[in-house]
A and B are shown apart, each in its own frame.
Chain A
Amino acid sequence: MNRHALLSCRLRINGASHDVEDVHFGDTLLEVLRDRLGLVGTKQGCEDGQCGACTVLIDGQPVNSCLELAAETVGREIVTIEGYNRRDGSLTPLQEALVRQAAIQCGFCIPGIVLAAESLLAERPDATEDDIRTEMDGNLCRCTGYSSILAAILEVAETRRGS
């Protein structure tokens, strides 16, 4: 393949179709989301799959969008923080819990944390503290020491179990 070959992709993002022209086959989903589509809620932290700041959901699974080639995601359902947010501006129970537990300092890790945690809670409604520690190991936070983030996710898990 010509290393400068450009593609056109139709991506399904947040329930809508986006035609993106002139995508290089090596462009990551993160680059396309942020630089081409202006969906900057997905954060660039390390471009190395280490920090989870760029987490998006692809077919419901959390994925580091810095490691995913945009061209590979054609035909799959992508959800970013913009698509996860409630349209009316109100917060989801997980977002409310993060605010209540003072889990937001600089906030750069938070969009990735929200999506990773929501997918964990969907998959493991019975998640214990040890489960959350294990499953959230791919999302770095440098500000909080994690205890407030852990408390928020646990609070949502327990509320859901109780109801």
Chain B
Amino acid sequence: MAPDPRSGGSATGVGASIVRPDAIAKVRGEFEFATDLRAAGMLWGATLRSPHPLARILKVDLTPARRIPGVRAVLGAWDVPVNTFGAVDKDTPVLADDMVRYVGEPVAIVAAQSPALARQAIDAIVVTYEPMRPVTDALEALAAGHVYRHVSMTHGDPDVVGEVQAEGEYLTPRQDHSFLAPDAGLARPDGRDGVEVIGASQWVHADREQIAACLALPEEKVLVVNSGIGGSFGGRVSMTWQVHGALLALHTGRPVKFVYSRHETFLARYHRHPSRIWLRHHANRDGTLVKLEARILLEDGPYSHTAAAGIGNSCSLIQGPYNVPNASIEGWAVATNNGMCGSMRGFGVVEPIFACESNMDRLARTLGIDGAELRRRNLIRSGDTWTFRQVQDRPAPVSELVDLCQAMALPPAPSADRPMSARVALPGGVATPTRPRHVRRGIGLAAAVKNTCFSEGCPVNSTALLTLHNGIATVDCAAAEVGQGFVAVAIQVVQSTLGVNEVRVAACDTGMPPAASTDAQQQTITSGPAIHLAAARLKERFLQFFGREHGLDAATLDIRDDFVVSRQGGRLASVAEAGMGLVFRATERFDQRTTRPVDDPHATEPVHVALSFSANRCVLDVDVELGLVRVVQMDVVQDAGRVANPALALGQVTGGSLMGLGFALSESLEYRDGRPVNGNWRDYRLPRMADAPVVNCRFVERPVPGIPFGFNGIGEMPHVQAPAAILSALRDATGLDLPAAPATAGRIALTGSDAVPMRLSDSALEAFKGPGRARIGKFLRFQRVER
């Protein structure tokens, strides 16, 4: 289906593009984001951060800061009851104690009467460091054995050799989430020896567990509340200011607010891990894939964060959406002192799909076959077995996606006499020096696969409570609304299942039962079914009540458009009247199927809960003299399961595609000697309106079996596929290899610097294989959440 981009109209329920319930407040600027929180008597927090990538702390003197009038608290590591936390492993200090391990690591915190005073107090703290030589290169980290997780897996016969081989090594950047709203929030004492932490989180229950542990409080003493969240993209799954705020609030007895600057948001937070991926595809001369050899090196930070999950995703999906009968795959997540790395949209999958698709292009050139044709010959089908021993037991309509994508209309060819007033449409954008005669057009196609939901043994579930009172339904579900539109989807599920159109969604906090994290495109597919189950149970209870009251058989009754109706559809009473002022409730939990680690040789469960697929064709113009690029059009065909809200789903595709465009062409947070050099939006180049291509989108709706409504994940896929398609089109236009993203103007125009020396190839790798598992952080175990 080609989604209508518009919201509104009278349709309700799953499949309608209802207007999201927060749209009016947001468009009037009245929606309260975490940055906007205020409270009477509020103090302002600030953080002293490490200027060194690696140093021993010899002395911390807080006294000068404490002497400043108006400064209410100044705290160091020794003030934290339990000084470690972490998204998975608890290996990250709340405040650095003996060592700092990245530039930006928090060392001390203050609370003062104004933001300026808080900053002044931070400047007054004296820390004596003994700088040490940091590890700043992932290969060096591998050689030194700074490995969080090493995955090694084979499939079929790893010794088979194909008639034709294509080998390449590919690099991807450290991308920043760059959500618009900086890290911010408010912590306040609750008056009962506990604390409330109000901010922006993808997963309030995971935050509460960590905050309570650090404060040495029972979880009941910590309430984590989500205020409005200004974007997330995987970037709000681990905490920054939250424990600091809670500590300061408990120390001062006053509310404490933190608002990070943009530069601080860059420093304090994790980023997408840079990758180096070596691949060798083996094929027969007819283009049938015979074997894949892959080595994947992901650079993570000095603390483990989500490193293990990232390399697991990468190793499992390096094969792309193709049937690969034999494989030998190895991956490492290593620790460096180049700041923290972690999850971001398409976590651990953007990189391998970029490398796989790039090498498929290389294989196509080697074979002399059209890239689309090579892909079509090898696409995975339902019933095929993945390299990680999971049978594709659900639909895999990839060939349909590729065919539909190729059938979409191409844009008109670039015109050499385009008026100079239309510079914005030329490579380079608004003030471009491009001459139309240097512009060449390129077209590239890529296919992609992404897992939906946390994988590898991590439990994925949501609980929803539904209340019906006076004809109005209220959803309590602790699923974080980060901008993606789950609040609309929740309403639509209730409308479809319960038959009541007036639905409210309560704000999310840890007073509710836990829900899945807004991660891994898993919210609609997990919390959606939980809400459906609760609505179905509530409807059953309500109709039983109504049947008893009126002497009718409940099995003959239904609810439609806010009325109790008979089997023939006749309206018997409005739901508001029929409820007689009573409150009806139902709570249900939905569990995704259990999964297992990718390299577990014995377990029989799947590795991934579900997989989604897409095809993407990119059309772009490039100035081959200057290396400037203008992406003209992206044609996206996505396997989306059942689409809950087409307009919102389309927004995920257009937004994700542009974020992928940033990854492909301009976004890279650079570190030199362990120090970030472009941690601001002046130098870190985000796509702007002038860069936005036309995005044409088709959804192929194959319901996922076992999931109410057949939902699948949507939000990550567009980002996963875009870089591969864009680089493929660039190669088509320029004839260059372009093995590294972002393909900046410099990399395109300076063709001599195009090649990436292979470091993970057969002969080179030996130099970097380390002695074992020495480490900077602590070695990671898998997450096994007990709840």
Give the B-binding residues of A (Cβ under 8 A). Answer: 24, 31, 34-35, 38, 40-48, 50-51, 53, 80-82, 85, 89, 91, 95, 98-102, 104-111, 114, 130, 132-134, 136-151
Minimum CB–CB distance for B38 against chain A, Å: 7
With A137-B430, A149-B689 given, is the CB distance from A107 to B27 under 8 Å?
A: yes
Docked-complex contact B29 and A85, CB < 8 angstroms: yes
Q: Say yes or no for B31: interface residue by CB 8 A criterion.
A: yes
Docked-complex contact B430 and A148, CB < 8 angstroms: no
Docked-complex contact B484 and A100, CB < 8 angstroms: no
A81 to B27, CA, bound (A): 9
Minimum CB–CB distance for A79 against chain B, Å: 12
User: Which residues from chain B contact A48 at a C-beta distance below 8 Å?
Assistant: 262, 680-682
Docked-complex contact A46 and B8, CB < 8 angstroms: no
Q: Say yes or no for B686: interface residue by CB 8 A criterion.
A: yes
Docked-complex contact B19 and A99, CB < 8 angstroms: yes
User: Which residues from chain B contact A95 at a C-beta distance below 8 Å?
Assistant: 27-28
Q: Say yes or no for B14: interface residue by CB 8 A criterion.
A: no
With A142-B655, A146-B689 given, is the CB distance from A38 to B38 under 8 Å?
A: yes
Q: Which residue of A lies closest to B481 (CB)?
A: A106
User: Which residues from chain B contact A147 at a C-beta distance below 8 Å?
Assistant: 5, 654, 692, 694-695
With A110-B26, A145-B655 given, is the CB distance from A47 to B692 under 8 Å?
A: no
Q: Which residue of B lies closest to A138 (CB)?
A: B688
Docked-complex contact B659 and A142, CB < 8 angstroms: yes
User: Which residues from chain A contact B694 at a C-beta distance below 8 Å?
Assistant: 147
User: Which residues from chain B contact A41 at a C-beta distance below 8 Å?
Assistant: 28-30
Minimum CB–CB distance for B2 against chain A, Å: 14
Interface stretch, picked from B228-236, B439-447, B490-498, is B228-236
User: Which residues from chain A contact B24 at a C-beta distance below 8 Å?
Assistant: 91, 99
**Which of these, B27, B28, B654, B686, contacts A148 with CB under 8 Å?**
B654
Docked-complex contact B29 and A137, CB < 8 angstroms: no
A106 to B177, CA, bound (A): 14
User: Which residues from chain B contact A80 at a C-beta distance below 8 Å?
Assistant: 29
Q: Which residue of A lies closest to B37 (CB)?
A: A40
Minimum CB–CB distance for B538 against chain A, Å: 29
Interface stretch, picked from B89-97, B237-245, B645-653, is B645-653
Docked-complex contact A102 and B651, CB < 8 angstroms: yes
User: Which residues from chain A contact B19 at a C-beta distance below 8 Å?
Assistant: 99
A52 to B764, CA, bound (A): 47
Number of interface residues of B (CB under 8 A): 70
A46 to B179, CA, bound (A): 11
Q: Say yes or no for B22: interface residue by CB 8 A criterion.
A: yes
Q: Say yes or no for B690: interface residue by CB 8 A criterion.
A: yes
Q: Say yes or no for B334: interface residue by CB 8 A criterion.
A: no
Docked-complex contact A105 and B651, CB < 8 angstroms: yes
A114 to B30, CA, bound (A): 13
Q: Say yes or no for B7: interface residue by CB 8 A criterion.
A: yes
With A108-B33, A143-B651, A148-B654 given, is the CB distance from A47 to B261 under 8 Å?
A: yes
Q: Which residue of B lies closest to A111 (CB)?
A: B29
User: Which residues from chain B contact A106 at a C-beta distance below 8 Å?
Assistant: 179-181, 229-232, 482-483
**Which of these, B483, B659, B688, contacts A105 with CB under 8 Å?**
B483
User: Which residues from chain A contact B423 at a C-beta distance below 8 Å?
Assistant: 134
Can you add 17 more A-B contacts, CB < 8 Å, to A43-B180, A105-B485? Answer: A82-B29, A99-B7, A101-B6, A105-B651, A105-B655, A106-B483, A130-B422, A130-B424, A133-B424, A133-B425, A142-B231, A142-B233, A144-B655, A145-B658, A145-B659, A145-B695, A148-B5
Q: Which residue of B lies closest to A96 (CB)?
A: B27
Q: Say yes or no for B136: interface residue by CB 8 A criterion.
A: no
User: Which residues from chain B contact A99 at a C-beta distance below 8 Å?
Assistant: 7-8, 19, 23-24, 27
Q: Which residue of A lies closest to B19 (CB)?
A: A99
Q: Say yes or no for B657: interface residue by CB 8 A criterion.
A: yes
Minimum CB–CB distance for B642 against chain A, Å: 19
Which of B27, B648, B681, B694 counts the most A-chain CB atoms under 10 A from its CB?
Answer: B27
Docked-complex contact A44 and B6, CB < 8 angstroms: no
User: Which residues from chain B contact A134 at a C-beta distance below 8 Å?
Assistant: 423-424, 430, 690
Q: Which residue of A lies closest to B681 (CB)?
A: A50
User: Which residues from chain A contact B182 at a C-beta distance below 8 Å?
Assistant: 44-45
Contact mask for chain B residues 28-64; partner A; CB cutoff 8 A; 1 contact, 0 none = 1111110110100000000000000000000000000
Q: Say yes or no for B116: interface residue by CB 8 A criterion.
A: yes
Docked-complex contact B115 and A53, CB < 8 angstroms: no
Docked-complex contact B425 and A51, CB < 8 angstroms: no
User: Which residues from chain B contact A46 at a C-beta distance below 8 Å?
Assistant: 262, 680-681
Docked-complex contact A44 and B35, CB < 8 angstroms: yes
With A43-B35, A81-B28 given, is the CB distance from A108 to B180 under 8 Å?
A: yes
Minimum CB–CB distance for A141 against chain B, Å: 7
Docked-complex contact B27 and A104, CB < 8 angstroms: yes
In the A-B complex, list the 8 residue pairs whose CB atoms are closest, starting with the nearest: A106-B483, A41-B29, A107-B26, A145-B654, A108-B230, A81-B29, A111-B29, A145-B658
Docked-complex contact B659 and A133, CB < 8 angstroms: no
A149 to B650, CA, bound (A): 13
A57 to B694, CA, bound (A): 30
Minimum CB–CB distance for A43 against chain B, Å: 7
Which of B6, B423, B682 counts the most A-chain CB atoms under 10 A from its CB?
Answer: B6
User: Which residues from chain B contact A89 at a C-beta distance below 8 Å?
Assistant: 28
Docked-complex contact B36 and A40, CB < 8 angstroms: yes
Docked-complex contact B180 and A51, CB < 8 angstroms: yes
User: Which residues from chain B contact A51 at a C-beta distance below 8 Å?
Assistant: 180, 681
Minimum CB–CB distance for B390 against chain A, Å: 32
Docked-complex contact A100 and B8, CB < 8 angstroms: yes
Q: Say yes or no for B526: interface residue by CB 8 A criterion.
A: no
User: Which residues from chain A contact B686 at a C-beta distance below 8 Å?
Assistant: 140, 142
Docked-complex contact B180 and A47, CB < 8 angstroms: no
Q: Say yes or no for B499: interface residue by CB 8 A criterion.
A: no
User: Which residues from chain B contact A132 at a C-beta distance below 8 Å?
Assistant: 689
With A99-B23, A145-B655 given, is the CB distance from A139 to B5 under 8 Å?
A: no
A145 to B693, CA, bound (A): 8
A31 to B116, CA, bound (A): 11
User: What would be 15 A-B contacts, judged by CB atoms less than 8 Å apart?
Assistant: A40-B36, A41-B28, A42-B29, A45-B182, A47-B261, A85-B28, A95-B28, A98-B27, A102-B17, A104-B22, A133-B690, A140-B681, A142-B231, A147-B654, A148-B5
User: Which residues from chain A contact B659 at a C-beta distance below 8 Å?
Assistant: 142, 145
Docked-complex contact A101 and B5, CB < 8 angstroms: yes
User: Which residues from chain A contact B230 at a C-beta distance below 8 Å?
Assistant: 43, 106-108
Which residues of B (180-239) have their CB < 8 Å from a CB of A?
Answer: 180-182, 228-233
Q: Which residue of A lies closest to B20 (CB)?
A: A104
User: Which residues from chain B contact A139 at a C-beta distance below 8 Å?
Assistant: 689
Q: Which residue of A lies closest to B692 (CB)?
A: A146
**Which of these, A45, A102, A149, contacts B180 with CB under 8 Å?**
A45
User: Which residues from chain B contact A101 at a C-beta distance below 8 Å?
Assistant: 5-7
Q: Say yes or no for B656: interface residue by CB 8 A criterion.
A: yes
A40 to B654, CA, bound (A): 29
Q: Say yes or no for B622: interface residue by CB 8 A criterion.
A: no
